[in-house]
Chain A
Amino acid sequence: MQTLQPNDKNELASIIRDAKGENVRLEIIGSGSKRAIGRPVEANYRVSSAQMSGITLYQPKQRMLSVKAGTHLDVIEDALEKYQQILGFEPVNLGGILNTREKPETIGGILATNISGSRQIHTGSAKNHLLSLRGVNGFGQIINAGGDTIKHVTGYDLRRALTGTWGTLVFMTDITLRTLPKPEQTQTLIFSGLLDVLAIELMNKAMATPYEISGAMHLQAPLVKNLTTEQNRATGQSLTALRLENFSFSTPCRMQKLQDLLGPFGDHIILDDDESHDFWSDMRTLKFFHNSKGPLWRIAAAPNMASEIVSAIKSHHPESIAAYDCAGGIIWLQTPLRSDAGASEVHRAVLNRGGNATLIRADKELRSNTYVFQPVDTQIKSLMKRIKMAFDPFGILNPGRIYEDI
């Protein structure tokens, strides 16, 4: 399939307008690092943001960064590092689990999927950090949404609404993000050998404190062997981690208070700055799932329902393995290699307890034949279709990426 690489938003708009006239469907990509997620798109051409790349404005004093959508994440993070700033939502790097390491992630792709990392438990997901965006809709019109300020209520909030729409409503071209100061010191409190239920109780007890936990993760025992550092691999037992990030005058005090509170949960160790960095880098790349090939689900749930959801799925697929991020609010679940990835059991378990499931890793055939995204009821589906019609009535942009008809 031919890949078109427009140089700017006007060229892109022209391509989409032409597509409208010729009944052509377009697959929207950044670098293609997330092409293996979602339903495969049947399209005539591929359009990439590769040529729309670069930082257009960085104002560290305003905590604001404007970039073109095709800008690689590492370019952005290098620029922020110079001013000791970060992206608050800690984008997840899926290259290791999707085997697309050679394709650097683009900021457009990250916002189109809204898959955010462990820090979202404290600072919110990518959409909470998006100040404004520009994109081209299915009419070939350039649309601006949002403003370069935290507060903004001028018409419908398209910047949040368009984040996570997988390129089915607009092709993002320009993005302005809020940046955050890089924490001065990071420490991680690690418990070993806790069962899921107890680990989730511990994490949520910590989350109810005022110590601003910025990461709460529990890995089941079989996942620990894949971690980078020997110290974390050594026990071979499940591992529960809580991250504190703050000033150097704050983190150790808060850590002490946390230890005092959570001590009864058992033995624990503290990782310092560098060790913490290594550990959370593993979490950010989902390193614990790199050496496996089974279908991988991302499940959003109420934290107190998380272990029950996993147990319900495991009762059908005992080989399933889970990592609980965000104190249980996000579950990364690997199911056995089967024809349907355990989809019906996963969807049922989630439906009965609240939440939603997205199939992140699976082969193309499976993604074509099962619900990659949690099925929704007819009223919501009908509303989604009407929204699709409002942006892309000719079905040009990423047709069928989310559901067969969206």
Chain B
Amino acid sequence: MSSLNIRKPSEKVLWNKVKLQLELKKHIGSDHVIIDTEGCNIYSRDAYTSYRQTPLAVVLPENDPQVIDTLQFCRTYEIPIIPRGAGTSLSGCASAYEDAVVLCLSRMNKIVEIDYENRTVTAQTGITNFAISETIAEQGFFYAPNPASQMSCTLGGNIGTNAGGINALKYGTTSAHILGMKFITIEGDVIQLGGNFGDSIGYDLGAFLIGSEGQLGIVTEATVRIIPKAENARPMLIGFETEKDASKCIAAIMRSRITPSAMEFMDKTAIQISRPTVDYGPSDKEQLKNTDALLLVEVEGSETEITAQLNVLEGIAFEHFHTFTKISNTDEDAKDLWQIRRNLYPALCKQAQTYIIDGTIPANTLPDVLPKVRHICANYNLQVIHIFHAGDGTLKPIILYNSHDAEDSANVTKAVSEILRLCLRVGGYLSGEHGIGLEKRDLMQDQFGPHEIGQQTRIKHAFDSRELLNPGKVFPVNMV
């Protein structure tokens, strides 16, 4: 992605760099501002590794007034602001610019209120996703969105990208779980939306903010819906001779009355690569020989309900030429089956560097798209693995490559663009849960027409007429 067209930095800001850094430190307080190059370098990029720039400064506020002061400072000197949580974005949503201040909310990580009566938690948005669920677990509740990075990603980042995760098939994405939020506009106004009730009035401003990648305001606090945990949850592993059978089985499960709490797809390469480190059990060796795809399907309920649902699923699997099924009968079994899925990514990382692509496709195109993605990658001598949340439309090809090899890296860039364009051709979209950021920004012209991008940028201007909040992301630079 080295060919990225990055916005032109402000010469005025760069010219006055040292003066602005010192003034910012004085304005906000030295304990909350990083200006040394080494310290700033840590915030130069997020989990999107193709672009980095050391920012002018990093501000780590602990409260709203410090956020307001930072915005006021940046307004005065026309300095771009990069909102950041834990920096886990894979699309460069939090990539820094040399003339920008990174506003990192990781210190604003307190639970403000737990309201079991109304089943809500209000928290500052620097809190990690996992910390919310962990705090309420003893009372039998959980916070449903659970992206793969949930141990480190923040509520604010989840709001910025409308994060989903493994359970989104049943419980929906972040937008279905945010009841209220406090956000600070670029002008420094503190706006409280909603609260511990679930309805908006007039325009749903929160709906504009969720998924806006920090371009419309700084969300510092949110009230989320919490859900009683199911009595139990048990997964089942199903092997298929072909990917086509697995795809048809996914459709049949969706057509049934069962809504799995999770459904994970793994292809043959994933199985092969993970064999040395993943224990599929000795009895499955023979069956795995003829298995080109795996589905891990989890259902919830009482033990009786789970058994009945797994029986139904087994029947569906049987109709779709499964090679084997493995049902978890105990908590320990369940843990073992999930471990197969969890061990896959670390096993892949041992093989090579990984580039995770995130697109969406209509579910009925899945059987055609999977081999086409392989074909694209093969043309660039790249190996690709399909592991994704099935049933919710996401497609997550993982490309293995050598990031120190310039040709390999260039090939990845080309393959990613081709794969995302393939998603568009079959009626899908550029992103299911990573967001657009810098990574897919220039492909937005392939997704949307000028009217649609024009409409979106007018919304941006309605919230941030100064173009200071996370500029140069989401929309092509020449179209803003």
- Kindly state the separation between the CA atoms of A355 and B118 in the bound complex, as whole angstroms: 13
- Kindly state the separation between the CA atoms of A155 and B459 in the bound complex, as whole angstroms: 11
Task: Answer whether residue B256 sits at the interface, using C-beta atoms and an 8 A cutoff.
Answer: yes
- Kindly state the separation between the CA atoms of A367 and B209 in the bound complex, as whole angstroms: 31
Task: Answer whether residue A304 sits at the interface, using C-beta atoms and an 8 A cutoff.
Answer: yes
Whether B176 pairs with A149 at a CB distance below 8 angstroms is no
Task: Answer whether residue A65 sits at the interface, using C-beta atoms and an 8 A cutoff.
Answer: no
Whether A62 pairs with B175 at a CB distance below 8 angstroms is no
Whether B172 pairs with A373 at a CB distance below 8 angstroms is no
- Kindly state the separation between the CA atoms of A373 and B230 in the bound complex, as whole angstroms: 37
Given contacts A163-B204, A354-B196, A383-B462, contact A153 B259 (CB under 8 A): no
Tell me the minimal C-beta distance from A141 to chain B in angstroms. Answer: 4
Tell me the minimal C-beta distance from A92 to chain B in angstroms. Answer: 13
Whether B452 pairs with A300 at a CB distance below 8 angstroms is no
Q: In the complex, identify which listed stretch (A233-241, A246-254, A260-268, A276-284) lies at the interface while the others stay far away.
A: A246-254
Question: Which of A144, A246, A383 contacts B191, CB < 8 Å?
Answer: A383
- Kindly state the separation between the CA atoms of A156 and B204 in the bound complex, as whole angstroms: 13
Q: List 17 A-B contacts (CB under 8 A).
A: A61-B251, A61-B254, A127-B204, A149-B362, A151-B394, A152-B429, A165-B203, A247-B305, A253-B305, A301-B197, A302-B118, A329-B199, A330-B199, A356-B199, A356-B200, A384-B202, A387-B205
For B435, give the chain A residue with the smallest CB separation. A153
Task: Answer whether residue A14 sits at the interface, using C-beta atoms and an 8 A cutoff.
Answer: no
Chain A to chain B: the 7 pairs with minimum beta-carbon distance, closest first: A149-B393, A300-B199, A390-B458, A151-B432, A386-B462, A147-B429, A160-B207
Whether A152 pairs with B431 at a CB distance below 8 angstroms is yes
Whether B228 pairs with A253 at a CB distance below 8 angstroms is no
List 6 additional contacts besides A156-B216, A160-B175, A355-B197; criterion CB under 8 Å.
A120-B198, A144-B448, A161-B203, A247-B309, A356-B201, A383-B462
Tell me the minimal C-beta distance from A231 to chain B in angstroms. Answer: 28
Question: Which of B119, B120, B257, B433 contacts A184, CB < 8 Å?
Answer: B257
Task: Answer whether residue B236 sits at the interface, using C-beta atoms and an 8 A cutoff.
Answer: no
- Kindly state the separation between the CA atoms of A247 and B52 in the bound complex, as whole angstroms: 52
Q: Give the residues in chain A near B146, CB-CB below 8 Å.
A: none
Q: Give the residues in chain B near A390, CB-CB below 8 Å.
A: 455, 458-459, 461-462
Q: Give the residues in chain B near A301, CB-CB below 8 Å.
A: 197
Whether A148 pairs with B197 at a CB distance below 8 angstroms is no
Q: In the complex, identify which listed stretch (B160-168, B285-293, B320-328) lies at the interface while the others stay far away.
A: B160-168
Task: Answer whether residue A71 sits at the interface, using C-beta atoms and an 8 A cutoff.
Answer: no
Whether B431 pairs with A61 at a CB distance below 8 angstroms is no
Q: Give the residues in chain B near A329, CB-CB below 8 Å.
A: 197-199
For B364, give the chain A residue with the smallest CB separation. A62
Whether A387 pairs with B394 at a CB distance below 8 angstroms is no
Given contacts A149-B361, A151-B360, A373-B202, contact A210 B229 (CB under 8 A): yes
Question: Which of B197, B204, B205, B254 contacts A302, CB < 8 Å?
Answer: B197
Q: In the complex, identify which listed stretch (A217-225, A287-295, A312-320, A374-382) lies at the interface while the others stay far away.
A: A374-382
Given contacts A155-B436, A356-B201, contact A124 B452 (CB under 8 A): no
For A148, give the chain B residue with the smallest CB separation. B362
Whether A148 pairs with B393 at a CB distance below 8 angstroms is yes
Q: Give the residues in chain B near A120, CB-CB below 8 Å.
A: 198
Interface centre among A125, A147, A305 (most CB of B within 10 A): A147
- Kindly state the separation between the CA atoms of A62 and B392 in the bound complex, as whole angstroms: 9
Whether A59 pairs with B364 at a CB distance below 8 angstroms is yes
Task: Answer whether residue B195 sits at the interface, using C-beta atoms and an 8 A cutoff.
Answer: yes
Q: Give the residues in chain B near A189, CB-CB below 8 Å.
A: none
- Kindly state the separation between the CA atoms of A207 and B225 in the bound complex, as whole angstroms: 12
For B175, give the chain A residue with the smallest CB separation. A160
List B432-446 residues whose CB lies under 8 Å from chain A. Answer: 432-436, 444
Tell me the minimal C-beta distance from B363 to chain A in angstroms. Answer: 5
Given contacts A62-B254, A157-B175, A387-B462, contact A380 B205 (CB under 8 A): yes
- Kindly state the separation between the CA atoms of A158 and B461 in the bound complex, as whole angstroms: 15
Whether B456 pairs with A61 at a CB distance below 8 angstroms is no
Whether B176 pairs with A124 at a CB distance below 8 angstroms is yes
Task: Answer whether residue B308 sits at the interface, using C-beta atoms and an 8 A cutoff.
Answer: yes
Task: Answer whether residue A142 sits at the interface, using C-beta atoms and an 8 A cutoff.
Answer: yes
Whether A154 pairs with B430 at a CB distance below 8 angstroms is yes
Whether B210 pairs with A383 at a CB distance below 8 angstroms is no
Q: Give the residues in chain B near A402, CB-CB below 8 Å.
A: 202
Q: Give the residues in chain B near A369, CB-CB below 8 Å.
A: none
Whether A155 pairs with B448 at a CB distance below 8 angstroms is yes
Task: Answer whether residue A143 sits at the interface, using C-beta atoms and an 8 A cutoff.
Answer: yes
Given contacts A390-B461, A402-B202, contact A149 B451 (CB under 8 A): no
- Kindly state the separation between the CA atoms of A128 and B198 in the bound complex, as whole angstroms: 12
Task: Answer whether residue B11 sits at the interface, using C-beta atoms and an 8 A cutoff.
Answer: no
Binary CB contact string for chain B from 353 to 383 against chain A (1 if under 8 A, 0 otherwise): 0000000111110000000000000000000
Task: Answer whether residue B189 sits at the interface, using C-beta atoms and an 8 A cutoff.
Answer: yes
Whether B455 pairs with A141 at a CB distance below 8 angstroms is yes
Tell me the minimal C-beta distance from B114 to chain A in angstroms. Answer: 13
Q: Give the residues in chain B near A150, CB-CB below 8 Å.
A: 164, 168-169, 172-173, 392-393
Task: Answer whether residue B211 sits at the interface, using C-beta atoms and an 8 A cutoff.
Answer: yes
Q: Give the residues in chain B near A379, CB-CB below 8 Å.
A: 185, 189, 191
Task: Answer whether residue B427 sits at the interface, using C-beta atoms and an 8 A cutoff.
Answer: yes
Given contacts A62-B254, A62-B362, A301-B197, contact A157 B461 (CB under 8 A): no
Whether A354 pairs with B197 at a CB distance below 8 angstroms is yes
Task: Answer whether residue B480 sits at the interface, using C-beta atoms and an 8 A cutoff.
Answer: no
Interface centre among B211, B431, B436, B444 (most CB of A within 10 A): B211
List B286-316 residues whose CB lies under 8 Å from chain A. Answer: 301-302, 304-305, 308-309
Tell me the minimal C-beta distance from B189 to chain A in angstroms. Answer: 5
Q: Give the residues in chain A near B453, CB-CB below 8 Å.
A: 155
Tell me the minimal C-beta distance from B41 to chain A in angstroms. Answer: 28
Task: Answer whether residue A204 sits at the interface, using C-beta atoms and an 8 A cutoff.
Answer: yes
List A62-113 residues whose CB lies under 8 Å from chain B. Answer: 62-63, 84
Tell me the minimal C-beta distance from B435 to chain A in angstroms. Answer: 5
- Kindly state the separation between the CA atoms of A40 and B364 in the bound complex, as whole angstroms: 44
Task: Answer whether residue A32 sits at the interface, using C-beta atoms and an 8 A cutoff.
Answer: no
Question: Which of B176, B193, B362, B364 contacts A128, CB < 8 Å?
Answer: B176
Q: Give the residues in chain B near A60, CB-CB below 8 Å.
A: 255
